[in-house]
């Protein structure tokens, strides 16, 4: 039997490989790392910035405050959890079908991972581009980075010389923008998840109990019981809880009438195989059945679709939030490192700020590697 996930993933790699080969003259190669640059899109960003410059400026100021708070809080939490031998960060890699990485690595279904990476790359780099143009910093190019045919990153290439000439607040807006975009996406995805769950719950109602099979030699098997149970005697059964409540209040050897979507069945209860004091009719693997409030059963594929959508939102949230916080840690070349360097310039002067951020970078990298190593160590120790 064909695995759709494997086939679609291989097809994706094939398409990307063909595109890379066709555009090979305009692509940079370096030991498996492929960099594709382009300049299209500058005018669209400029038009967007010119139309909404005041709002973007306000958002940028808020992003600076949020970025500094998240940077300090992220570093403090990393320090606390590392010293407590608790994991804060981990390694997330894409997996295909039933293939899983060893436990220290978190396996994410390929398409969830790919969509999540695309969302964080787009939001992160778009925000950097917008705030660079807000400060009239020229953008040399946009680009995407691949490991062979696997997308692993993206970038915006603004003029660093022009950024260096900006005032401190202008620089901070540009540095904080990317991670703030990731955190905004995480917040938006969280909100969409809540809305999705509430809207779906609001459109359905409990309608009965289904069961996958009957047990040989039991009353249910003897009368060939089937369908969705919605009533026993005169008691409505809308949920598994309703069914269990009725059975707990009836006696062994009691005759009951079970009404299902397939008909009415008269059965006499018998003792449960695992507990002779409790009544039993012989059905197992019960599941909750729902109706749409506007009529009709809710099919299983609808639940599967909603579950798939929520899992996608979950991974987009995890990846966006994780990348947003990690990128604000006070170490270069992360954005948080550039933010802290600006503050160090004010505290220690331009000359000593470079030494200060180097020390901060070494400390943060050490904490980060130690924190990631905690889970690996726990995996091998247990």
pLDDT tens for each residue of 331-367: 998 999 999 999 998 888 888 888 999 999 999 999 9
**How high is the pLDDT of residue 38?**
83
Two tokens, residue 68: 């500094």
- Taking the chain, what is the end-to-end CA distance rounded to the nearest angstrom? 38
Q: What is the tens place of the pLDDT at every residue in 253-267?
A: 999 999 999 999 999
- pLDDT number for residue 382: 61
Per-residue pLDDT at 378: 67
Instruction: State the Cα–Cα distance between residues 336 and 334, nearest whole angstrom.
Output: 5
* Dihedrals phi, psi of 186, to nearest 5 degrees: -60, -45
CB atoms within 10 A of CB 340: 28
Residue 204: predicted pLDDT: 93
pLDDT of residue 56: 94
User: How many CB atoms sit inside 10 A of residue 233's CB?
Assistant: 13
Domain locations in the chain as residue ranges: 26-200+305-381, 216-281
- The CATH architecture of the domain made up of 216-281 is Roll (2.30)
Task: Give the number of other Cβ atoms within 10 Å of residue 43's Cβ.
Answer: 8
Q: What pLDDT shows up at residue 380? A: 66
pLDDT for the residue numbered 66? 93
pLDDT < 70 positions in the chain: 1-2, 378-382
């Amino acid at each position: 039997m064909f695995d759709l996930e494997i086939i679609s993933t291989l097809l994706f790699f094939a398409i990307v490989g063909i595109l890379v080969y066709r555009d090979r003259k305009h692509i940079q190669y370096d030991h498996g790392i492929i960099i594709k640059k382009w300049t299209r899109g500058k005018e669209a960003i400029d038009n967007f910035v010119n139309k909404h410059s005041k709002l973007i400026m306000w958002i940028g100021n808020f992003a600076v405050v949020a970025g500094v708070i998240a940077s300090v809080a992220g570093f403090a939490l990393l320090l606390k959890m590392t010293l407590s031998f608790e994991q804060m960060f981990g390694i997330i890699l894409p997996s295909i079908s039933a293939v899983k990485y060893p436990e220290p690595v978190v396996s994410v279904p390929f398409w969830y991972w790919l969509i999540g990476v695309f969302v964080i790359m787009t939001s992160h780099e778009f925000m950097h581009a917008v705030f660079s143009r807000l400060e009239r910093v020229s953008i040399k190019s946009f680009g995407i980075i691949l490991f062979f045919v696997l997308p692993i990153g993206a970038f915006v290439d603004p003029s660093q010389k022009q950024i260096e000439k900006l005032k401190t607040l202008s620089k901070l807006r540009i540095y904080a923008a990317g991670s703030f975009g990731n955190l905004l996406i995480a917040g938006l995805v969280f909100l969409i998840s809540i809305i999705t769950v509430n809207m779906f719950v609001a459109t359905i109602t409990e309608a009965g109990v289904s069961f996958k099979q009957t047990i040989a030699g039991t009353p249910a098997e003897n009368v060939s019981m089937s369908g969705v149970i919605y009533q026993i005697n005169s008691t409505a059964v809308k949920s598994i809880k309703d069914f269990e409540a009725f059975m707990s209040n009836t006696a062994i050897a009691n005759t009951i009438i079970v009404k299902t979507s397939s008909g009415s069945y008269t059965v006499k209860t018998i003792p449960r195989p695992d507990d002779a004091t409790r009544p039993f009719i012989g059905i197992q693997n019960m599941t909750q059945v729902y109706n749409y409030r506007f009529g009709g059963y809710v099919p299983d594929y609808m639940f599967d679709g909603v579950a798939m959508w929520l899992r996608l939102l979950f991974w987009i949230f995890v990846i966006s939030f994780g990348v947003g916080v990690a990128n604000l840690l006070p170490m270069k070349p992360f954005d948080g490192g550039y933010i802290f360097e600006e503050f160090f310039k004010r505290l220690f002067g331009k000359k000593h700020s470079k030494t200060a951020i180097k020390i901060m970078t070494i400390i943060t990298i050490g904490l980060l590697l130690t924190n990631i190593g905690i889970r690996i160590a726990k995996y091998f120790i247990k």
